[in-house]
Amino acid sequence: MKTKQLAIEKTTITARFWKRYRDLMAHESIPYQWDMINDNQQVDVVNSPFAAGGVADKSHAIANLKIAAGQMEGDFFGMDFQDTDVYKWLESAAYVLTYAPDENLQQQADSVVDLIAAAQEDDGYLATMFQIEMPERKFKRLQQSHELYSMGHYIEAGVAYYEATGNVKALEIAKKMGDCLDVHFGTDANQIPGIPGHPEIELALARLYEVTHSQKYLDLAQYFIEQRGRDTTFFDRQNEADGVDRDFFPDMKTLGNRYYFADQPVTEQRDAHGHAVRVLYFCVGLAHVARLTHNPKLAEAANRLWHDIVTKQMYVTGNVGQSVHGEAFTYDYDLPNDTNYGETCASVAMVFFAKQMMASALKGEYGDIIEKELFNGALSGIALDGKHYFYVNPLEADPSASRGNHGKAHIATQRSSWFNCACCPANITRLIASVDKYLYEVDQDVILADQYIANTTQFNNGIQIKLAGDYPWSGDLQYTITNPNEASFKFAVRIPNWSLQHYQVVVNGELIEQPLQDQILTLPITAAQTVVELHFDMHPLLVTTNSRVKDNIGKVAVQRGPIVYCAEGIDNPEPLWLYELLPDATFSYQYKPQLLAGTGVLETDDVHRIREEATTTALYAFDTDKQVEQAHLTLVPYYAWANRAEGSMSVWIRKASAGE
Ligand code: FUB
Ligand code: ZN
């Protein structure tokens, strides 16, 4: 029987690892963030007043909307994109409602939609700072204004909420925003021939197009993508016309087009540079628009940027953005561990980017990055209690360094309860709450099982796929494919890059040996029931880095399955830099249900510790060897660090050379 176009109808996540996180979003993070944006929570930014994200004692985000809607008196408070904290909360709530129906939450979310509708102007405009404080300056300083960024976040939220609950008003607000931007932006004589300082609207308009099929939204998304970098004096002209000394972020005026990824058209761009989240949100829109418009030049640009980032500028944990200065990418192979930025939002954006790339071409490398972020770089942005967050995600941290060295003050060693720039908390929340969207990629008659998160998924044609297994702790997985109509389709599986040397695929009890294409193994399915077992290699692996990266020479990271590990001071007497793994070091693995909400721990005795010298010992000496002693090293998953006592952490560990 010929299949009709395959599509997912419903996914239920059963994986204990992700079920815990998703329940946490529903029962802890969402109510907590609701209180936060309503100013009913104490804000507690720990560790350093200079830690990225900064200090604030309230959010005021809902209040800003109420003031704009005329429902409350008062002044605007917060960042010029404060509204987005509400929008991302709404988007997270939308996803939560798909797996944890809750009347109270839905009422809250409906009331937020009503409030947003009341705050929106008749022409669709919505950015409360401008409405409350400076209506005459709308769209006049786009380099810094975040108006399109904010509206983009609403559009994403509105689409998600409409899809989750059928709330038409939520979608109407989004369409009105799209219409407003469509009127104001473009190259007609009466339009602004400009672009936003912070991309986001591009990806949002592409989403809006997908749900409405209204071509104008896709055209506008394409305009913003293609216009970027074409008119390199646009921001300066606008700033000048709006007036000197009227910056929203004074430092941002001097950063230059390169920082905004607006120094040349994207088709000319060779690498990712400038503010990391801006570049990445842009890339998400770029890959999406390239696919929707079948534009090979844009697709090539997306490809080029993808490869630059993942092969030259990404940390082993998936974190991106090497510098606190401008929250930015720096240059290829520059990957310092103890000063990096690795903003949580940037990792979340990498997942979106990878998903769009995967939707354009089924390749295992995209799924590898989604997995890397989900289990490491993005996930470290949220504490195990769902109510504390990292904005910056370092690979090496030391509380004394963060307190004593201003250049490392942004490396917080405890998660905060909120930030004055609170972009990250709700970003990681919306990702976890929507993780079901990353399990499969459907392309014509192919169902690619991309993420090994246990689930039951119902497709059309009556097809049901059930994945059982305890990933990421176990590498043994079992898919049961039920196909009552005996439809003919292909079931494909991604072989993760860390298991490419050793893996097994067993179909109905028979070992399958066939070449992979782009890390993907494809199986034709016609039977009413098929069982596909996957067995991945869960031996702890020692990861080394390309020798162009100076910071990791002589060091290894330890990875088991998709999880990257780290050493923490609470488990290992500090300082951590004194440990040295022996050449053939092996690790024992144990799952500890009581530790860190249930986690897999690695331990080894194949390690030396350089003896710590007395403070009376000379700082320098001539031709002396360090004393070493036999030691023990305990490693925990990177995502779970900083959930116990404050202390040091290191992902990279020195490795003794053979003969030592
Ligand atoms: O500018 C809006 C958001 O604030 C960015 O995406 C983050 O990097 C933070 O700067
Ligand atoms: Zn952020």
* Residue 352 near residue 427, CB atoms below 8 Å: no
pLDDT at 250: 86
> What percentage of the chain reaches a pLDDT higher than 90?
93
pLDDT at 4: 62
Tokens of 533: 């077992």
Q: Is the pLDDT of residue 660 over 60?
A: no
CA dist 310 and 317 (Å) reads 11
Q: Which of 146, 148, 198, 323 to mutate to test the pocket of ligand 1 (most atoms within 8 A of CB)?
A: 198
pLDDT at 56: 73
Which atom from ligand 1 is nearest to the alpha carbon of 149?
2
Q: Which of 145, 249, 343, 389 to mutate to test the pocket of ligand 1 (most atoms within 8 A of CB)?
A: 343
Q: Is the pLDDT of residue 121 over 90?
A: yes
* Ligand 1: residue whose CA is nearest its atom 8: 277
> In the structure, what pLDDT confidence band is assigned to residue 641 with cuts at 50, 70 and 90?
very high
Closest CA to 377 of 410, 422, 340: 340
Ligand nearest to the CA of 275: 1
* Residue 163 near residue 155, CB atoms below 8 Å: no
Ligand nearest to the CA of 391: 2
pLDDT at 244: 87
Q: Which of 277, 322, 340, 350 to mutate to test the pocket of ligand 1 (most atoms within 8 A of CB)?
A: 277
Domains and CATH numbers, the chain: 265-438 (no CATH), 445-536 (2.60.40), 541-655 (no CATH)
CA dist 255 and 546 (Å) reads 31
Which atom from ligand 1 is nearest to the alpha carbon of 421?
4
The mean pLDDT of 95-113, rounded to a whole number, is: 98
Q: Which of 82, 282, 345 to mutate to test the pocket of ligand 1 (most atoms within 8 A of CB)?
A: 345
> What percentage of the chain reaches a pLDDT higher than 70?
97
The mean pLDDT of 363-376, rounded to a whole number, is: 98
Residue 558 φ/ψ, nearest 5 degrees: -110, 130
* Ligand 1: residue whose CA is nearest its atom 3: 423
Mean pLDDT, the chain, whole residue set: 96
Which atom from ligand 1 is nearest to the alpha carbon of 84?
2
CA angle 10, 12, 18 (to 5 degrees): 140
* Residue 91 near residue 156, CB atoms below 8 Å: yes
Q: Is the pLDDT of residue 376 over 80?
A: yes
What ranges in 390-506 are assigned the alpha helix state H?
399-404, 423-433
Ligand 1 centroid distance, CA of 5 (Å):
39
Ligand 1 centroid distance, CA of 393 (Å):
15
Tokens of 255: 């950063």
Ligand 2 ion: Cβ-proximal residues, 5 Å cutoff: 343, 345, 423-424
* Residue 113 near residue 97, CB atoms below 8 Å: no
CA dist 42 and 492 (Å) reads 48
Ligand 2 centroid distance, CA of 434 (Å):
18
Ligand nearest to the CA of 252: 1
* Ligand 1: residue whose CA is nearest its atom 5: 277
Q: Is the pLDDT of residue 51 over 70?
A: no
What ranges in 50-199 are assigned the alpha helix state H?
61-68, 83-99, 103-119, 128-133, 142-145, 147-165, 168-184
The residues assigned a catalytic role are 327, 423
Q: Is the pLDDT of residue 496 over 70?
A: yes
pLDDT at 2: 43
Q: Is the pLDDT of residue 131 over 50?
A: yes
pLDDT at 44: 73
pLDDT at 57: 79
Residue 389 φ/ψ, nearest 5 degrees: -140, 150
Which atom from ligand 1 is nearest to the alpha carbon of 200?
6
The residues pairing with 397 across neighbouring beta strands, listed in sequence order, are 649
Tokens of 648: 């040091």
Ligand nearest to the CA of 83: 1
The mean pLDDT of 240-259, rounded to a whole number, is: 91
The mean pLDDT of 59-69, rounded to a whole number, is: 97
Ligand 1 centroid distance, CA of 53 (Å):
9
pLDDT at 47: 56
Tokens of 328: 């930015």
Closest CA to 272 of 335, 203, 280: 280
- 298 CB-side CA count, 13 A: 25
646-656 confidence digits (pLDDT tens): 999 999 999 99
> In the structure, what pLDDT confidence band is assigned to residue 281 with cuts at 50, 70 and 90?
very high
581-600 confidence digits (pLDDT tens): 999 999 999 999 999 999 99
Ligand 1 centroid distance, CA of 642 (Å):
23
* Ligand 1: residue whose CA is nearest its atom 6: 277
532-547 confidence digits (pLDDT tens): 999 999 999 999 999 9
158-200 confidence digits (pLDDT tens): 999 999 999 999 999 999 999 999 999 999 999 999 999 999 9
The mean pLDDT of 446-465, rounded to a whole number, is: 97
> Which range is least confidently modeled, 88-92, 460-464, 633-637?
460-464
Which atom from ligand 1 is nearest to the alpha carbon of 198?
1
Ligand 1 centroid distance, CA of 49 (Å):
18
Ligand nearest to the CA of 426: 2
310-353 confidence digits (pLDDT tens): 999 999 999 999 999 999 999 999 999 999 999 999 999 999 99
Q: Is the pLDDT of residue 452 over 50?
A: yes
Ligand 2 centroid distance, CA of 481 (Å):
39
> What is the DSSP track for 548-577?
T-GGGTTEEEEEETTEEEEEETTTSPSPGG
* Residue 61 near residue 37, CB atoms below 8 Å: yes
Ligand 1 centroid distance, CA of 493 (Å):
35
Q: At 475, which amino acid appears?
A: G
* Ligand 1: residue whose CA is nearest its atom 1: 198
Q: Is 103 exposed, middle or buried (0-12, 13-18, 19+ CB in 10 A)?
A: exposed
Q: Which residues line ligand 1 (CB under 6 A)?
A: 81, 198, 277, 327, 343, 345, 421, 423
pLDDT at 3: 46
CA distances from 439 to 50, 427, 467, 569 (A): 38, 19, 10, 35
CA distances from 613 to 166, 609, 633, 656 (A): 66, 12, 20, 19
Of the two residues 65 and 253, the one the predictor is more confident about is: 65
